[in-house]
Amino acid sequence: MKRLRGILKVVALVVVVAFIAWYVAQNWHDVVPIFRTLEWWQYVSAGAAIVVGLIASMLSWRSILAGMGSRLPMLAAARVFFLGQLGKYVPGSIWPVVAQAELASEYGTPRTRSGIALLVQMAVSTVVGTLFAALCLALSSPAAFVAYWWLLLIALVGVVCLAPPIFTRVMRFAARVLRRPADDLAALSWRALFAGASWSLAMWAFFGVHLWVLAITLGGNSLTGLLTAAGGYALAWLVGFVIIFLPAGAGAREAALTLALAPVMSGPAALGLALVSRFLMLAADALFAVAAVAAERLHRRAQSRRA
């Protein structure tokens, strides 16, 4: 089984790298003109915002996992989360859950608990992102409020479903169906839910800032542009998330983001901007995965030397 797991990890990595290479090759000719238009400081600022947003996403998951009874050290949590997130580039939304459950088990965390924690983090991120998108787009213009008011209703339903008393009952029912020990599906506390939601809100805010920084020279340099970029990115991410057969929502996210940015810039510029954003996200995911592995290995070597 250990050898099989090693083989599966290599296969998954090859699939992810192949998808990234294919995606970049397919869209390179559309994104080159926008690459040449943007200034260097926009890339640096947008990249920094993406980095902070990804760290906030990891901290959201770590908070929820800790609230369910398993607190991972920071470096271990980073390794598990960022390596597991590469699974989103494989078609089907289940792969990040499988990958993180397997990686977290190396630190004594029950697979079921770590998998459920990621599902809860996804649900929290979806609910917070829906509310964030609704508020930003509604404040950007009256027309946007008329078009996207229904997002508020979806967000409110999600908030009710994630309330710990309701969530605990759902998890107990899931434990009976899956025939798993109750300890693996520990109840989620209000404190952990609030911490996860707060980090998720920070993630959406910084992701929105990264797109706005890129859009400044393309017609999005106003408050309306900021709200449209932030809300549009959150909405586009949600569209890509629910279309599970596309790896990381490839294509669907860009199409939705192009439509959302239409009030502040032309269609070709919006599409190019969406592709630049995707390229930066791809680079950040890859760099974080490499950095997480390197940091964890250094940490283990330091512990061995102390021992």
Report whether pLDDT(190) > 90: no
Token representation of residue 81: 């989360």
Averaged pLDDT, 155-182 = 68
Residue 222: φ, ψ to 5° = -110, 175
Q: Are 122 and 60 in contact (CB under 8 A)?
A: no
Q: Please check whether residue 50 is in contact with residue 206, taking contact to mean a CB–CB distance below 8 angstroms.
A: yes
Q: Quick check: is 170 in a domain? A: yes
The answer to whether residue 52 scores a pLDDT higher than 90 is yes
Whether 304 is in a domain gets the answer no
In a domain, 61, yes or no: yes
Tokens of residue 85, six digits: 């997130």
On whether residue 208 sits in a domain, the answer given is yes
Q: How many independent structural domains does the chain possess? A: 1
34 domain residue, yes or no: no
The pair of structure tokens assigned to 160 is 């009710």
> pLDDT tens-digit profile of 213-240?
988 876 656 677 788 888 888 888 777 6
Residues 249-293 have pLDDT tens digits of 555 666 677 777 776 676 677 777 888 888 888 888 888 878 877
User: Which tokens is 183 given?
Assistant: 């300890």
Q: Is residue 21 part of a domain?
A: no
Question: Which residue type, as a one-letter code, is found at position 292?
Answer: A
Which candidate, 186, 183, 131, places its Cα nearest to that of 164? 186
Q: Quick one: how many helices (H) and strands (E) in the chain?
A: 12, 0
Per-residue pLDDT at 36: 76
Residue 221 has what pLDDT?
64
Residue 127 pLDDT > 70: yes
pTM higher than the cut 0.85: no
Give the pLDDT band (50/70/90) at residue 92.
low
The span from the CA of 275 to the CA of 257, in Å, is 10
Residue 162 lies in a domain: yes
Contact 296, 52 (CB under 8 A): no
Q: Is 106 exposed, middle or buried (0-12, 13-18, 19+ CB in 10 A)?
A: exposed
Residue 101 lies in a domain: yes
Question: Do 280 and 256 contact (CB within 8 A), yes or no?
Answer: no
Which pLDDT score, from 0 to 100, does residue 123 have? 84
Whole-angstrom Cα distance, residue 128 to residue 108? 30
Identify the domain containing residue 214 by its residue range.
Answer: 50-297
